[in-house]
Structure 1
C-alpha cells in the first residue's frame, strides 16, 4: 500500500469519528431531556398535587415526543432504549479509536505468496564462505633411451620439476551456489587457469548446472582428481580427451547415487588462461553415463560400467593429438643451454590435421573387492578430414592395484570414479607404517592410420605408493616405453620417476 493510500485511509477514519461525535452530542442531549421528563413524572407521582413542571417541547429536546408528562412505565422503557443506544455508540467509538490507531502505524504490503516468490531471507547471512585449499607435486625423472629412440624423438633430459603447484579458493555464495577459483603455478601459464567455475545446485529438479572452466565429462581417469591418481600421470589415451575447456555442463545422479550422468557444451580449444578464439568451428559437446551394477558392503565389492561420447568441431578446422610417455619434467627458466631440450619430448604426434570434425567414443569398466581394485578404458577418435580420408585413432589402458596393508580404494558415487585412500595407521610421531600400495598398468596409443602417421606407443608401468597419511604420499614409477615409428622403426626407453605429494 502506498503512502497516499495510507493517508486516504486515515482521513476517512477521522471523518467517521467526527460524525459519530456529533451523534453522541445529540444523544446526550436526548438523554438529558429524557431524564428531566422522568424526573417530572416522578415528582408528580410523589407530590400528588396536580402541579406539573413547565412543558418541555420537542424543539428543546430534538426528539419526537411532545407530551408534557410520562407515566412510570413509559419512563422505564425510554431509559432502557437510551442505555442500549449508548452501548451501541460506545462500541462504535472503540472501533473508530482502534482504526485510527492502526492507520498511524506503518503498513507492509506483501506479494501474494506463490512457490516462486514465497521466501524469507535469513536475519544474518552466513554467505559468502571461503576455504583455501591446494597441493603440490614435486617430481624427479631419469631417462635411458636406445639410440634408435633418440633418433626418433630426440634426447630426453633427466630433471626435477614441480609438476603441479596449485592454490584454490572454494566455498559458497549462497546455500545452492558454490564456486572454485583454482590456479596452477607449475604449468606453463604460471599461473594457469584450472577449475574456475560457478556451480548451481538443483536448478531444475535434481539437475545441477556448472559454468566456467572445468574437466569435461568424458573418461573415468580424466575425471579422477590428480590428487588421487594411482600413477604419476594419467595413461596414454588421455591425450584424446578434450580435458579442461570453457563451457557449461548439466549433471546429476539417479537410482540412489548408483548412476551418474552429465551433458556439456564448450569452446575448443581453450588455452592455459581460459581463453578461446577462432573461426570455422571452435565448439564441442560431451556426455557421460555410468552405472554401479554391484555395490556391496562390507567387503568393498563394486562393479562399475560407463560410456562417453564427444563431438568436436575444432577452431579453424585444425586438430592435433600428441603424447609423452606418461611422465613429464621441464625447465623454462633459461638456465639450460640452447641445444638441450627443456621439455620431455612427445613420443607420438599426429601433426596438424585439417579436420572437419571428430567423434570420440569411450567405454569404461572398473571393479573392486577388499584391498584389490582394477580399472580400464577404451577410447577412439574418428576424425573426418578435409580433403582426406576418415581416420580412426584408438587408445586403451588397463591397470590393477593392491594394498599390502589392508586399506581399500574408496568410490566417489557423485562423479563415478575411484576416490581417496585413508591409511589404517598413518605415520606420525608415535610410529605407524602408513598405507603401502602396489600397482601395474598397460596402455597404448595408435596414431598410425591412412595418411596420419604419428606413431604407435605402448607403456608398461609398475608403481609403488607409500601413503603417510590421507594428505601426504610418495610415489615411485618405472615406465618401459615401446615406440613403433613409421620412419625409425621400433625403439624403447626406460624411465624411473619419483614424486612427493602433499595436499591441504
Structure 2
C-alpha cells in the first residue's frame, strides 16, 4: 500500500513539475533553470508529505533503533524488537607493571665471613600482569601473576570480592592480609626499593577470606581475615592438616585540617597455628635479588642471590602471635611513617621466645607535590607530579631517609640483629613511571662472627599501566 501511494504521489508531482517547466520556459527561463526550480519544489512537497515518525530519528538514535549495525546483541527476528540493553558485565581491564633492579655491594671482611661474598647483580624484582574488573555491580575480581618472582610465574593477588554486604566487603582467594603498614602499601608506591625490616614477620599473601570496610568521612578502616598458613607461590597448601591463621587491623585518622595535614594511627594482631608446627623468620638488608636457574653456574661458596643476614632457623612452634603498631603523617611536601612489629612464639619444647622489628622513615618532595593519604586502605598513597617530565616539566623529585631494625635474638635462638640506614632519591617522571636510587648501610651483629658492615647502592626502574 505504501509503495502504491508513493508511486501515485511521484507521478502527480512529475506531471506537475513538467507543467511548471513548460510554463517557465514560455516565460523566458532556460530549461536547466526551470528543471532545478521544479526539483526544489518537488523536494519541499515530499518533505511535507512524509510521516513525522520517519524523520524524527537523529544519527545518535540509530544505534538503538537498528542495533544490528553496532552490536552483535541483536534479535534478528524483527526490526521492532532489537536487544539494545546489552549487559556491561563481565568487565575486564588488563593491568601490570615491572621493576628492574640493579645493585652494587661492598662488604668488609667480617661480613663476607658471616654471610658470604655477595656479588653485584641485576634482576627483575617484579614483572606482573593482571586482569581485574567486575562481573556484577557488587562483585569484583583480580587475577594477577608475577613472572619475576621465584616460581615464574607465581600467583599474586587472585581473589573475588563481594562488596557492600552486611559484613562489609568480603574477599575470598589469595591476597595481602591485614597487618603491617608497609606490607599493605602497594609495591608500586613504596618510598624505598624494599619495605622495612619488620616486614619479615608478616604472613602477607595467603589463601583465605577477609571482611573489611572503611568509613572515609570518619577516617577509619577495619579488616578481619582468616587464612591457611603457609601456602606456596601457587596458592597451594604446604604441610599437614593444620596451618591456620587470622589477622585483624584497625586504623584511625586522629588529626586533619583543611591544608591536607593528616595524622594516622593503627594497630594490628595476627595469630598463627602453622602447618607442620614450625615457623622461621629471616631477612635481607632491604635489597633483594632472587636466586634463579643460573645458580648452577655460580662457583661453590659464592651466593647466587642476596642471602639473609639474620635468620632464626626453623623453630618448632605451637602458635605464634604478632602485634603491630603504626603511625603515619602527611603535610604539604613532607610525609613520614613508622611501625613496630613484635612476635611471640610459643614453642613445642622450651620457653616462649619473642622477637621484634621497627622502622621509621620520612620523605620530602623537592618539587612541591603532596603525598596523599589513602582513606580507603589506611596507607599513604601515590606521588603524582604536577608537571610531567618533558618539554615543560621535570617531573617530581623526592629525598627520603629510613632506619630499620630487626632483632632475632632471644633465649637460645640466636638469629642475629640487623640495623639498616637508608638514603633514597626518587624521580617521578609521571604518574606511572619512576626511578629510585637507594644507598643502604647494613650493620650486622652476628652471634658467631660478631659485628660487620655492608654497603649497598641500588637502583630501580619502574613503569605500571
TM bucket normalised to smaller: 0.7 to 0.9
- In the alignment, which of 49, 73, 88 is matched to residue 126 of structure 1? 88
In the alignment, is the contact (CA less than 8 A) between 1:290 and 1:416 conserved in 2? Answer: yes
Residue in structure 1 matched with residue 147 of structure 2 by the alignment: 185
Tell me the secondary structure at the aligned position of residue 227 of structure 1: helix
In the alignment, is the contact (CA less than 8 A) between 1:310 and 1:359 conserved in 2? Answer: yes
- In the alignment, which of 308, 315, 323 is matched to residue 353 of structure 1? 315
- In the alignment, which of 312, 316, 330 is matched to residue 290 of structure 2? 330
Distance 1:452 1:190 in 2: 33
Q: Describe how 1:261-410 pairs up with structure 2 within 5 A.
A: 261-279=222-240, 281-297=242-258, 299-334=259-294, 336-339=297-300, 340-410=302-372
Distance 2:242 2:399 in 1: 44
Deviation track 1:10-63 (CA, whole Å, cap 9, x = no partner) reads xxxxxxxxxxxxxxxxxxxxxxxxxxxxxxxxxxxxxxxxxxxxxxxxxxxxxx
Question: What is the TM-score with the length of structure 2 in the denominator?
Answer: 0.80
In the alignment, is the contact (CA less than 8 A) between 2:110 and 2:452 conserved in 1? Answer: yes
Residue in structure 2 matched with residue 240 of structure 1 by the alignment: 201
* Ranges in structure 1 where 5+ consecutive residues have no aligned partner: 1-121
CA RMSD between the two structures: 1.4
Distance 1:439 1:277 in 2: 39
Deviation track 1:305-337 (CA, whole Å, cap 9, x = no partner) reads 000000000101011010000001235132733
Measured at CA, do residues 255 and 188 of structure 1 come closer, stay the same or move farther in structure 2, by a change above 3 Å?
A: closer
Distance 1:494 1:221 in 2: 23
Distance 2:293 2:350 in 1: 41
| 2:439 is the counterpart of 1:478 | yes
Distance 2:463 2:397 in 1: 16
- In the alignment, which of 174, 182, 199 is matched to residue 161 of structure 2? 199
Measured at CA, do residues 199 and 280 of structure 1 come closer, stay the same or move farther in structure 2, by a change above 3 Å?
A: closer
Tell me the secondary structure at the aligned position of residue 222 of structure 1: helix
- In the alignment, which of 383, 388, 394 is matched to residue 433 of structure 1? 394
Distance 1:277 1:403 in 2: 44
Larger Rg: 1
Aligned residues: 381
Deviation track 1:428-482 (CA, whole Å, cap 9, x = no partner) reads 2x24111000000000000000011000000000000000000000000000000
In the alignment, is the contact (CA less than 8 A) between 2:330 and 2:373 conserved in 1? Answer: no
- In the alignment, which of 395, 408, 418 is matched to residue 380 of structure 2? 418
Distance 1:308 1:238 in 2: 13
What is the CA-CA distance between 1:294 and the residue it aligns to? 1.5
In the alignment, is the contact (CA less than 8 A) between 1:310 and 1:361 conserved in 2? Answer: yes
Distance 2:418 2:216 in 1: 40
* Ranges in structure 2 where 5+ consecutive residues have no aligned partner: 1-83
What is the CA-CA distance between 1:300 and the residue it aligns to? 2.0
Residue in structure 2 matched with residue 13 of structure 1 by the alignment: none
What is the CA-CA distance between 1:279 and the residue it aligns to? 2.3
Tell me the secondary structure at the aligned position of residue 232 of structure 1: coil
What is the CA-CA distance between 1:342 and the residue it aligns to? 1.3
| 2:190 is the counterpart of 1:229 | yes
Tell me the secondary structure at the aligned position of residue 363 of structure 1: strand
Deviation track 1:229-271 (CA, whole Å, cap 9, x = no partner) reads 0000000110001100000000001362510000000000111
Distance 1:306 1:325 in 2: 25
Distance 1:140 1:148 in 2: 24
| 2:427 is the counterpart of 1:466 | yes
Distance 2:291 2:440 in 1: 21
Q: Describe how 1:42-191 pairs up with structure 2 within 5 A.
A: 123-191=85-153
Distance 2:217 2:242 in 1: 39
